[in-house]
Amino acid sequence: MEPQSSNSQIPQQNLPQPHRVSRKRFFLIGGVLFIVALTVLIGRVTLTFERVSKGKGVVFENEEDAGFTPHKDSDRVNVLLMGLRGVDDPEGGLLTDAMTVASLKKSTKEAALISIPRDVWVRMPGKKTYDKINAAYALGFEEGGSASALAYAKAVAEKVTGLSLDGAVSVDIQALRDFIDAVGGITLTLERPFTENRQWVRGGDMGTSTAFIIETYTVTSADGIATETAKWVFELPKGTQVLNGTTALYYIRARFSSNDFDRARREQQVLVALGTKLKSRGTLLNPFALNELLKAFERNVETDMSPKRILELASFASGIAARTVQKIILSDDETGLLQTKHQNGVYTLVPRTGNFEEIRKMSREVFAEK
């Protein structure tokens, strides 16, 4: 027999037909899988929030605080947000160098961020001694662990702002990096270039970032000998850009070439950008991103709020537009409410009027019509 020609025709009806999934069925399957993933995720949300909730700690009242009652407004929710350096930080892992009171007004869906500098000098609850406010969390932790640390820090923040705080949240610095990476980065718009050329001259201490450049220059000694040397410079250009978690942390931690007040401004900028990304459809409809956020939350966050309260606040905050958030930084500039004072050679910040009444009034009236 002669071999069949290679181009001989085989009837199409004898070929096995590929299995086709209709578009409707494809979306139905996808929808079911999404609902299943979301249901599992909701269960994880509750479990995660239960794990990070530390309950209420006890704070002893100072004699000087007798008669002082923090201002309570049923239309406002006030929460203390704190950033810890990290347990492994040799310079004090439990010091809260970032302390911000987030105040939300329910009836008008307004929000304000009030940043308290770490060097504010305040009498510690239950003690006759004064200390910088960033030490409150660590002192409370010594008294009774995480719950007391949260309560202690909340008590001193109430003393400064005069506001009754409904909750407190402490976040390890690693968490912020993980949160930002989980949502695919945050978008920032800089009005001018930002440069830190003094803090990490021998290299970054948190890993690599594309924002670092190696700058070379020549140093001439007194003997006239020229030596070429190099240093690392952290640099972000003017304009809109997307930062990953590591780069964002370098951006908010930089302070050698600026100061703590500018750092507070950058912290607020990053918080607002992260809040915007968290509310985006790309995050809310992505179970994988939400799962990564929950893992970061569970590893690095502690709070005294109940899971129900956290979910209520998250739901309310989702309706606040980023552009409407007021950003307030307590400072020692010409219009600021603080002034510099050295306490036995230690740099501190104290109220310019001698007490916190001026700051408390500003905090109470932050949503007043201008």
Q: Where are the domains of the chain?
A: 50-183+280-364, 187-279
Q: Does residue 131 contact residue 159 with C-beta atoms inside 8 Å?
A: no
Q: Which CATH architecture has domain 50-183+280-364?
A: 2-Layer Sandwich (3.30)
Q: Please give the pLDDT value at position 8.
A: 43
φ, ψ of residue 125 in degrees (nearest 5):
-55, 135
Q: Which range (41-50, 91-100, 211-220, 239-248) has the least confidence? A: 41-50
Q: Please give the pLDDT value at position 104.
A: 94
Q: Is the pTM of this model over 0.85?
A: no
Mean pLDDT for 2-31 is 45
Pairing relation of β-strands 239-243 and 212-220? unpaired
- Spacing of C-alpha 207 from chain mean position: 19
Mean pLDDT for 30-50 is 43
* Cα→Cα distances 184→93, 212, 288, 290, Å: 27, 20, 11, 11
Residues 6-18 have pLDDT tens digits of 444 444 445 444 4
Q: How confident is the model at residue 86 (pLDDT cuts 50, 70, 90)?
A: low
Question: Tokens 């001439």 appear where?
Answer: 220
Q: Which is higher by pLDDT, 5 or 93? A: 93
- Indicate whether 327 pLDDT > 50: yes
- Indicate whether 237 pLDDT > 90: yes
- Indicate whether 234 pLDDT > 90: yes
Q: How confident is the model at residue 91 (pLDDT cuts 50, 70, 90)?
A: low
Contacts for 147 with CB less than 8 Å, ≥ 6 apart: 54, 55, 56, 57, 304
